[in-house]
A and B are shown apart, each in its own frame.
Chain A
Amino acid sequence: MSNYVLAQDFNSEEPIRAGFGRGLKIAGDNNANVVALCADLTESIHMHVFKEAHPDRFIQVGISEQNLITVSSGLARAGKIPFAGSYAAFNPGRNWEQIKTTVCINDQPVKIVGCHSGINVGPDGATHQMLEDIALMRCLPNMTVIAPGDSIEAEKATIAAANSEKPCYLRLARIKTPIFSSIESPFKIGEAYILKEGTDVTLVGTGTMTSQLLIASKILYDNYGISAEVVHVPTIKPLDEDTIIGSVQKTGRVVTSEEAQIIGGLGSAVAEILCEKIPMPMLRLGINDRFGESGEPLELLDYFGLTGEKMALKIQEFVKKVPKYQKGF
């Protein structure tokens, strides 16, 4: 049963990074050990909110993402809870080995903030559209991977990350994203949430794609009579296997969606557990083994088939073509 409290209306939108900015300030208000480091992108990733509230606990490191992580690791050893922020293309794109060695093997509670993930970065083009970060972070022991679905959830996720004793990766986005959650909605690291119940197919989304799946689920019902269950997975690692398996046992089909490479991303994570525990007809939506390119955010999402409308088309084809899972499949 879904007891998730959805937003009253689905009309307001805000960048996910804005919720991070508010959450970081609150985490800083709550705990004097929270410090923030940024590699020359302070306002862009909304760290200025923390900087203005806690100027003594903000550290500018310049354009040096490897240094960003190693300094953060040293601060964590000294008892601080460092939030290390930049664009995801560079953090963790540039500094993965420092993250592996000085944060993960070293097991320090550094919070890696990768903003501007996904193709919605838009005109900046492929170099700045980070699509590989979920794969890069998910394979690291000790690492928690969180991709909030909207700005309200991002605020909660940031506070939860600050309270976690483990290394965390927060995957954030630039684009204004529809707000589906509310102040009352639950958020706990490691939990997935059934946003909407259905019987014909389970749609599993993370980050910016969850709101698009909600749009798709309405189109699927209105236009094709397909009843889709929407599962939101803000924590990609550790993955809430029980919620996902429980849902697909009911619907018999699964679709995953992410604004990331489908190789190694959320779709892979879901496929890994389902292949072992309950093999299931599956469709993975995302970026399929290619780089992005310049364009307007919505233009790109449409081109790559990641709007609610485009996904609904693919999902209805999949549902029509592929029979439901039955025991013995």
Chain B
Amino acid sequence: MQGGVRTVDELKKIATDIRKDIVSMLEAAGSGHSAGSLDLADIFTVLYFHSMKYDPKKPNWEERDVLFLSNGHTVPAQYAAMARAGYFPLEELKTLRKFGSRLQGHPERTKLPGLESTSGPLGCGLGQAAGFAYDIQYFEKQVHRFSYVIMGDGELDEGNIWESALFAGKYKLGHLIAFVDRNDIQLDGNTEDIMPLGDLVGKWQSFGWHVQEINGNNVKEIIEAIDLAKAIADKPCVIIARTIPGKGVDFMEYDYKWHGISPDEKQKNEALEDLDKECA
């Protein structure tokens, strides 16, 4: 039900299109979060155009994989991926953050079919994805169904995350696949300055998780990591995806100041040129 079999090059092209959508949407909105949205484009591309099972015509299809976006401020990337996957017209992307839009500044399930939840306040997504994964494993006993969650790295400051990490470890939630967007930034600065996360691999392992560390801007590595995570049935899996904040736009890359702001028109045009170059 997903978009079919695609080559890595085709997926890269989709990721670039999503990045262009993000830049244009954020400029039109006049506010929003650029860095994380851009760096997650590759993961959303792989999820919506390779790994996840879903049907945009039947958003509540009972065999679909589910995706919980815990760091809801990166939702422009998800909206762009969903539009390109057929959930709604691309044209609607420019309504982001506008009055009356289904594309709220932070995602709201009740507004837009295809969203699994409502998020924005950080730390809440892992528990929800774990609850859904518990249902898949213990109640519905579905074999080929997965509950995905995307978290930010700064978000790991939240206690709720670690409560849910304990829970998933205890119940060996083998249908739970989590991403940590390890872009090393949060709103006030670099994560290791604001609140050091230290040995993330060791932390998650000690909570009973299977851990992989990958380049989260490499489509092939993302695909392989998900394939491995799906094959591990007796543990929840976390993929620590090292990404470049603002990925694809030279003047945004690695600069934490782009965490919570949007480009103006000039910056948008410059960004689109950068992304065209990447594509060429």
Q: Pick from B124, B130, B134, B135: contact of A102, CB below 8 A.
A: B124
Complex Cα spacing A271 to B256, Å:
49
Residue A160, interface by CB 8 Å: no
Taking a contact as CB atoms closer than 8 A, the residue among B66, B120, B164, B167 that contacts A77 in the complex is: B66
B92 → chain A closest CB, angstroms = 21
B103-145 to A contact mask, C-beta < 8 Å, 1/0? 0000011100000111111011111111111111011100000
* Given A70-B127, A80-B139, A97-B132 contact (CB < 8 Å): no
In the assembly, what is the distance between CA of A76 and CA of B131, in Å? Answer: 8
Q: Is B166 an interface residue (CB 8 A)?
A: yes
Q: Mark B11-51, 1 if CB is under 8 A from A, else 0.
A: 00000000000000000000000000000000000000000
* Pairwise interchain contact A74-B132, C-beta atoms closer than 8 A: yes
Q: Which DSSP category, helix, strand, loop or mixed, fits chain B's interface?
A: helix
| Chain A contact residue count (CB 8 A cutoff) | 29
B128 touches A70 (CB 8 A): yes
B212 interface residue, CB < 8 Å from A? no
**Which of B68, B117, B159 has the most chain A CB within a 10 Å cutoff?**
B117
Nearest A-chain residue to B158, judged by Cβ = A66
- Within the complex, the shortest CB–CB distance from B252 to chain A, in Å, comes to 28
Chain A 64-108 near chain B by CB (<8 Å), digits 1 or 0? 101101111111111110100000000000000110011001110
Whether, in the assembled complex, A62 has its beta carbon less than 8 Å from a beta carbon of chain B, the answer is yes
Supposing A67-B127, A70-B127, A101-B121 touch, asked if A75 and B135 sit within 8 A by C-beta, the answer is yes
A56 at the interface (CB under 8 A from B): yes
How far apart are the CA atoms of A62 and B119 in the complex, in Å?
24
Identify 26 residue pairs between A and B in the complex whose beta-carbon atoms are under 8 Å apart, listed by A's number. Answer: A56-B138, A57-B139, A62-B163, A70-B126, A70-B128, A70-B160, A71-B128, A71-B164, A72-B131, A73-B127, A74-B130, A74-B131, A75-B131, A75-B132, A76-B131, A77-B117, A77-B128, A78-B132, A78-B139, A79-B135, A98-B160, A102-B118, A102-B119, A105-B108, A106-B109, A107-B109
Which B positions have Cβ atoms within 8 angstroms of A? 66, 68, 108-110, 116-121, 123-136, 138-140, 147, 159-160, 163-164, 166-167, 170
